[in-house]
Every structure is written in C-alpha cells, then in structure tokens.
Chains A and B, each alone.
Chain A
Amino acid sequence: EIVLTQSPGTLSLSPGERATLSCRASQSVSSSYLAWYQQKPGQAPRLLIYGASSRATGSPDRFSGSGSGTDFTLTITRLEPEDFAVYYCQQYGNSPDTFGQGTKLEI
C-alpha cells in the first residue's frame, strides 16, 4: 500500500499570503493519479484537484496542483479567509486507494 505523507502538519499563514502544501508518496503514484481535497469543520471533503494538476469544476483558480512520481504540491496563491481548512491528498493510481494524514491551514 502506498503511504502518503503530508507536510507540514500545520501551516500558519495570513490572508493574502501564498501557501505551499506537500504530499510525498512512499512509491511512485501511477499515472499521476493524485487528488487534493479541502475539508472544513463539520463538512464533507470537497475535491479541488485531480490528476495531480487538473482543477475540479468550481475550484477557484488560486488553487493549483503540480508534481509527479512521488512528490506532489498544492499551491494556494493569495489566501482568502475561506481557505483556512484541512487539506488531504489521495492517490488512486495504485490499489488500495490511500489518503495522506492532512495539513491544517490556520490563520
């Protein structure tokens, strides 16, 4: 099973700043099948990025994904107040699907 390690565990930033979240896989993720989700308290996760770099429908263009192989990044330019949440990466290229442990983005 592929283990996804997200860093940092917590990221403290201010609105308007740039956030860079990392997701590292224990082995290469097939076809760059990696997704990013945002979760706010009491809510279901929301898809932001799939295929490592494709933005989901409705995902603001300040969110972008990059990477391949074992190293992936979610970048949020110009943080908005509503962006403060927990972010998870998921790989779906190698069975079983696995999630990272999450990065909490806080003010």
Chain B
Amino acid sequence: QLQLHESGPGLVKPSETLSLTCTVSGGSISSSSYYWGWIRQPPGKGLEWIGHIYYSGRTYYKPSLKSRVTISVDTSKNQFSLKLRSVTAADTAVYYCARVSKYYYDTSGYLDYWGQGTLVTVSS
C-alpha cells in the first residue's frame, strides 16, 4: 500500500523559507506513470494546488507562486521536497503531498494518494 508522509518544521518566521519533505513508501517515486505534488489548505479554507514534479526533475508550478517555489526530487531516497521562500502569514496552511496519476504525456492528473498533511504556521 502506497504511503506518503510529510515532514518539516511546523513554525516558520515571516520572510524565511518554508521547507518540507515528502517520503514515499510502498512504491517507487521513479515510476513513469506519476507526478508527485504539493497542495495546501489554509485553516478553514479550500484546497490550493502548488505544483508537482516528475521523477526526471521536470516541474510544474502555480503561476502566482512560481517566483517563490521550488519542488525537487531525490529518487535515491524516494523523497520529494517543497521550498517556499519569503513566506508571510498568508502561507499558513496544512501542506499535503500527493501522488498525481497521469495518462501518457499529460502534464497533470488526479490526486489518488495523499499524505496526512502537516500544519505550517508563519509567525514571529
């Protein structure tokens, strides 16, 4: 059974960088059938797609976040990571990692496995 688990600091100061890692178990991150993505949810609000990555390193980002976001992959550790720079209180959210199932050469897909989520609070 595939499992994803987010890890990283729960508190980040304003203007600093939020860093999270997602560890994938029960399956290989190097599969050609999937991307690996990040989604966030501010407290009491809806879901926001941040971006996703292919095992080769090809990335897709939400345009409004693109200047601050980097998603990377480490196939040797079966992990992928999120960095969000220059954070503000508006970046406070539960951050989820997820597997993105795609068809052939599609640039995105549906989210069929999710981590349990981790709350990151931006505050001094």
Task: Please give the residue numbers on chain A whose beta carbons come within 8 Å of chain B beta carbons, in ascending order.
Answer: 1, 33, 35, 37, 43-47, 50-51, 56-57, 88, 90, 92-93, 95-102
A55 to B3 CA separation, bound complex (whole angstroms): 21
Complex contact A99–B108 (CB within 8 A): no
Partner of A95, one of B46, B96, B107, B115: B107
Task: Please give the residue numbers on chain B whose beta carbons come within 8 Å of chain A beta carbons, in ascending order.
Answer: 46-49, 60-63, 96, 100-101, 106-112, 114-117
Complex contact A44–B47 (CB within 8 A): no
CB distance from A79 to the nearest CB of B (A): 22
Complex contact A47–B111 (CB within 8 A): yes
Contacts of A56 in B (CB 8 A): 112
A97 to B109 CA separation, bound complex (whole angstroms): 9
A105 to B116 CA separation, bound complex (whole angstroms): 22
A35 to B39 CA separation, bound complex (whole angstroms): 15
Contacts of B114 in A (CB 8 A): 44-46
A90 to B46 CA separation, bound complex (whole angstroms): 11
Partner of A102, one of B46, B100, B111, B116: B46
Contacts of B115 in A (CB 8 A): 44
- Least CB separation from A45: chain B residue: B114
* A95-B60, A96-B62, A96-B63 known; A47-B110 Cβ under 8 A: yes
Partner of B116, one of A37, A44, A47, A95: A44
Name 18 A/B residue pairs within 8 A (Cβ), A-sorted: A33-B106, A33-B108, A43-B116, A44-B114, A44-B115, A44-B116, A44-B117, A46-B114, A47-B111, A57-B112, A90-B47, A90-B49, A90-B111, A92-B100, A93-B108, A95-B60, A95-B107, A97-B108
